[in-house]
Structure 1
Amino acid sequence: MNIIKINGLEKKLDGKEILKGINLEVNKGTIIGIVGPSGSGKSTLLRCINRLIESDRGSIIFNKKNIRDIFPTELRRKIVMVHQESVMFPGSVYNNVSYGASLIADVKKSHILKCIKDAGLTEDFLDTDASKLSGGEKKRVALARALALDPSILLLDEPTSGVDPKKVQTVEKNIIDFSKNRKLTVLWVTHNIDQAMRVSSCIANLKDGVIREVCKTKDFKWEGAY
């Protein structure tokens, strides 16, 4: 059963047509890799899905409800995005990861610690000043912060860019396990086709604002995809 259904989605930015009639259905608990060249509209698509920007035409249905009928802050607790550039709040890693989740529920430290570990960090980071972290470490804190909200859908925009190469596959495995254990749906934008092949059960190829192909990962032919 699909958790999200996108019909005829269009978006212009600064007068330029970025999305040109996107159609996509994603089933609950699926990890879908969204690949395509730079400027193809991948990040714009994610930002439309959780209403960081509004589409010009078309519809996005989440759990059988049009997202325009869901208050944005409520929607963003269920559809959480991890951006390419990770912004840290003042304070410790623990405060950063627990911040959003603590606004909507009592949060146990064990839950925050698990999310930090799932993002590829260790308990040693809990009291570290988040502003002092490296770019890759900040990316993992942002991922942990998203996981702590226990979302229905996770939108990942190049989630391992800047991450220590030795940690990348650990982060990938943890997200895959998290998706399986919690039936978490993941839309994973990456320029790295090899990564998309590793993490996803299906792949959507986005080029020039149009989804050219959606298929099972095993059927994806990456030669000439771009």
Structure 2
Amino acid sequence: MNLNELYEIEKLQHAYQGRTVLDIAHLGVHEGQVLALVGPSGAGKSSLLRLLNFLEPPTAGAMRFAGELVRHPAPLALRRQVTTVFQRPALQRSSVADNVALGLRLRGITPDGQVDAMLARVGLASLAQQPARLLSGGEMQRVALARALIIRPRVLLLDEPTANLDPYNVGLIEEIIREANREAGLTVVLETHNVFQARRLAHRTGLLLGGRLIELTATPQFFEAPSDPRTAAFVRGDMVY
């Protein structure tokens, strides 16, 4: 497995209306790995994902991607290497197949058989011509995931991708993520409140509290022998703020 740092964050701070929401001394995201970020609501996880997706610049500090300093506005070629799947997917008022093909069309790529193959991969081949907005929540999330994966990004950012879904869809989505990481070497950054999901999927897990990265280590150590007492408390399910 390639352990090169695809993202490198140094002395990063980010603020909204004068309130600092992120203050991270160092964070490296290893290429080809799944990194889970856990923590309570308001810890800064979503703000960090926005920075990793180049949607806005940090207030202070530096972020590098593949060794290059990220400047804003980030060039299109850079932004196209990273895609995000959100907790509530925004789907077009068209068929499932049309939604999955959207990213290819925007890049001027003729879908050919790629859409059918991707729908089969996420278990939605029989629903290709169904209106996407009539699907169940779990099916809609699998459409969003298929739409993200079909463009073959270098990085997949996941913002609570299985929140409020039934166990069947959670299992399907986790297996799709695991397969994409294993077979295509996809780098995944997963933000989740579900510590069990982090334990199942991630190679490394980090705890964010109050915008600070409290601990980041290999997932087995994070859950079984954390070095920070706040991490241990969080893993036990205690209230930590």
In the superposition, the TM-score normalised over structure 2's length comes to 0.86
| Larger-Rg structure | 2
Residue 217 of structure 1 is matched in structure 2 by 219
Structure 1 residues 179 and 92: CA distance shift in structure 2, 3 A: same
Larger RCO (CA under 8 A, 6+ residues apart)? 1
1:53 paired to 2:53: no
3-state SS of 2:158 partner: strand
1:64 paired to 2:67: yes
Q: Write out per-residue CA displacement over residues 131-160 of structure 1, whole angstroms, 9 at most, x where no aligned residue.
A: 222333222211111101100000000111
Structure 1 residues 135 and 15: CA distance shift in structure 2, 3 A: farther
Q: Gapped runs of 5+ residues in structure 2?
A: 224-230, 235-239
Rounded Cα–Cα distance in structure 2 between residues aligned with 1:53 and 1:210: 19
3-state SS of 1:160 partner: coil
Aligned counterparts, 1:41-190, within 5 A: 41-68=44-71, 71-118=74-121, 120-190=122-192
Q: State the shift of 1:107 in Å.
A: 4.1
Counting aligned pairs with the same residue, the percent is: 34
Aligned pair count reads: 225
3-state SS of 1:220 partner: helix
Q: Which moved more, 1:81-90 or 1:29-38?
A: 81-90
Structure 1 residues 53 and 69: CA distance shift in structure 2, 3 A: closer
3-state SS of 1:68 partner: coil
Structure 1 residues 13 and 85: CA distance shift in structure 2, 3 A: farther
Question: Which amino acid is the alignment partner of residue 33 of structure 1?
Answer: A
Q: Write out per-residue CA displacement over residues 36-93 of structure 1, whole angstroms, 9 at most, x where no aligned residue.
A: 1111000110011112222111121111112216735333310111112211122111
Q: Write out per-residue CA displacement over residues 163-203 of structure 1, whole angstroms, 9 at most, x where no aligned residue.
A: 33212122111211111111110001100101000001110
Question: Which amino acid is the alignment partner of residue 95 of structure 2?
Answer: S
RMSD of aligned alpha carbons = 1.8
In the superposition, the TM-score normalised over structure 1's length comes to 0.92
Q: Which moved more, 1:158-167 or 1:107-116?
A: 107-116
CA contact (8 A) 1:136 1:161 kept: no
3-state SS of 1:146 partner: helix
Q: Gapped runs of 5+ residues in structure 1?
A: none
Question: Which amino acid is the alignment partner of residue 38 of structure 1?
Answer: S
3-state SS of 2:113 partner: helix
